[in-house]
């Protein structure tokens, strides 16, 4: 598999490992595998290990889109985030 992940039990971090030829679809696919993981927390940092990448064919648009995704496990979390983001 070109992209895999590990959710740390020690630090609030998701480690994504990329190997070989990586394209937009690989990044999108690993992101969608992370979301349903019961250990997933939307506020965790993501560390990308790309040392084994041999070819990178990823658009800036995909990187920006994945970098702005907010995911909440519960509706209450989304409501709280929305309330904070609209405070002036």
Domain range list for the chain = 3-85
Q: Give 8's DSSP letter.
A: -
Per-residue pLDDT tens over the stretch 10-21: 989 999 999 999
Q: What is the pLDDT of residues 44-80, one digit of tens each?
A: 888 999 999 999 999 988 888 877 766 666 666 666 7
pLDDT of residue 87: 53
Q: Per-residue pLDDT for 85 more than 70?
A: no
Start-to-end CA span in the chain (Å):
44
Q: Greater confidence, 65 or 26?
A: 26
pTM score of the predicted model:
0.71
Whole-number Å distance between alpha carbons of 31 and 88: 31
| 5 to 17, 76, 83: CA distances (angstroms) | 6, 27, 31
């Amino acid at each position: 598999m070109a992209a895999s992940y590990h959710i740390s039990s020690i630090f609030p971090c998701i480690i994504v490992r990329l190997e070989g030829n990586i394209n937009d679809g690989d990044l999108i696919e690993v992101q969608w595998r992370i979301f349903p993981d019961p250990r997933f927390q939307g506020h965790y940092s993501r560390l990308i290990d790309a040392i084994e990448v041999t070819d990178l064919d990823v658009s800036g648009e995909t990187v920006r889109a994945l970098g702005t995704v907010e995911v909440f496990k519960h509706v209450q979390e989304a409501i709280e985030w929305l309330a904070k983001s609209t405070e002036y």
